[in-house]
Amino acid sequence: MKSARPYWLLALPLVVVLAACGGGGEEPPAAGGEEGPGSPGGQPTGGSTVSGVVNFTGTAPDPEPILMDAEPICQEQFPDGVFTETVVINDNGTLQNVFLSVTEGLPDQVWEVPSDAVLLDQKGCRYFPHVLGVQADQDIVIRNSDGILHNIHPMPTLNRPFNIGQPVEMDTTRQFPTPEIMIPVECDVHDWMMGYVGVVDHPFFAVTGSDGSFEISGLPAGDYVIEAWHELYGTQTLSVSIPEGGTEQIEFTYEGA
């Protein structure tokens, strides 16, 4: 329970036997992806790669404008208006914010947790990235870049929920110990703020960015099931088998209304 805030220290004068104190200040990460795949750390054991794109056909719902007039500091950052990120179609007709991960076929082993932290930034009353991938137990640095109150309120079903406020510009470090796809994250102060965190227990995951492509590398040769997840259009799976050292191309296609 490394992450739990040791409230019990408040009870110090009455606690005769003290357990060892946890927590402590983690170093903030040097860099964090504003979008795109969360950099998989750990020690992948192979040299194979799965890459591809997530295509989109049909019509997407019109993005809805977000009214931020309650927070001038945030509103100022979007002079041209700001819209919901439920469905973001790239110029090349691909779909952004799709979380891809290997769900079947991995060798039965424990993957090392990367020591690098990933960044979840709150900027302009939005989450960057909107969809974040992270390995179980990996540090997530939650950053408030706005300097106004945000609270991070993830609503997991397998992990333990938490709800922490950040009143000023600051970092808070947290982890999710259990794999879970996906954990919605909300801010109770700004009801339009919505993000998702995908937690897996291995380093083989990716999130599509502004070109709709993804790449999962470092896989050992084998047969895998790759799952794609999108917040509105749900999940799709594809099976793929890759030889040692090879790269396999796959394509997901989501269809709008």
Partner 1 sequence: MTETAELSFVRRYVFSTDHKVIGKQFLFTAMGFFTLGGILALLMRTQLAWPWQEIPVIGKLLFGSGGNILPPETYPALVTMHGTIMIFFFIIPILSGALGNFLIPLMIGAKDMAFPRLNLFSYWVMVPAFIVMLASFFVATGPAAAGWTSYVPLSILKDAIPGSEMGQTLWVLSMMLVGTSSILGAINYITTIVMLRAPGMDMFRLPMTIWALFVTAILATFATPVLTAALILMFLDRTIGTLFFAAGEGQVILWQHLFWFYSHPAVYIMILPAMGVASDIISTFSRKPLFGYKPMVYSIMAIAALGFTVWGHHMFVSGMNPLLGLTFMTSTMLIALPSAIKTFNWLGTLWGGNLQLRAPMLNALAFVSTFVIGGLSGIFSAATPVDIFLHDTYWIVGHIHYVLFGGSLFGVFAGVQYWFPKMFGRMMSDGWGRIHFILTFVTFNLIFLPMFVLGGYGMPRRIADPYVYEMFTNLQGLNQFMTYALYVLALSQFILAGNFFYSLFRGKVAGKNPWKANTLEWTLDSPPPHENFEHIPTVYRGPYEYSSPLVSADWLAQDQYLDGTKPPEVMPAPAVSPAAGD
Partner 2 sequence: MGGLVPGLSTIAGPIDQLFMVVLILTGIAFFLVEGILIYFLVRYRYREGRKAKFVHGNRRVEILWTVIPGLMLFGLAVFQYDTWTKAKIDFPSEAVSEVIAVSANQFEWKATYAGEDGKLGTEDDIQAPINVLHFPVGRPIIVELQSTDVLHSFFIPVLRVKQDAVPGRPSRVWFQAIAEGEYELACAELCGLGHYRMRGFVTLESQEKFEAWLEEVAARR
Residues that bind partner 2 (CB under 8 A): 67, 69-70, 148-149, 151, 163, 165, 188-189
The one segment of 4-12, 73-81, 113-121, 217-225 that binds partner 1 by CB under 8 A: 4-12
User: What count of other Cβ atoms lies within 10 Å of the Cβ of residue 109?
Assistant: 9
For residue 165, the minimal CB distance to partner 1 (Å) is 4
- Biggest alpha carbon distance in the chain? 66
**Residue 72: CA count within 13 A, CB half-sphere:** 0
Selection from partner 2, partner 1, none that 67 binds (CB < 5 to 8 A by kind) is partner 2
For residue 60, the minimal CB distance to partner 2 (Å) is 24
- Phi–psi pair at 63, nearest 5 degrees: -65, 140
Tokens 């903030």 belong to which residue? 28
For residue 122, the minimal CB distance to partner 1 (Å) is 14
Query: By CB under 8 A, is residue 17 in contact with partner 1?
Result: no
The footprint of partner 1 on residues 139-198 (CB under 8 A) is 149, 151, 153, 160-168, 170-174, 188
For residue 170, the minimal CB distance to partner 1 (Å) is 4
Query: By CB under 8 A, is residue 235 in contact with partner 1?
Result: no
- The whole-angstrom separation of Cα 87 and Cα 107 is 34
**Quick one: residue 81, left, alpha or beta (phi over 0 = left, psi -120 to 50 = alpha)?**
left
Nearer to partner 1 (CB atom), residue 23 or residue 81: 23
User: What count of other Cβ atoms lies within 10 Å of the Cβ of residue 218?
Assistant: 15
Query: By CB under 8 A, is residue 61 in contact with partner 1?
Result: no
- The whole-angstrom separation of Cα 12 and Cα 242 is 57
**C-beta of residue 142 within 8 angstroms of C-beta of residue 151:** no
Selection from partner 1, partner 2, none that 70 binds (CB < 5 to 8 A by kind) is partner 2
Nearer to partner 1 (CB atom), residue 67 or residue 170: 170
Burial of 250 (0-12, 13-18, 19+ CB in 10 A): middle
Selection from partner 2, partner 1, none that 18 binds (CB < 5 to 8 A by kind) is none
Selection from partner 1, partner 2, none that 69 binds (CB < 5 to 8 A by kind) is partner 2
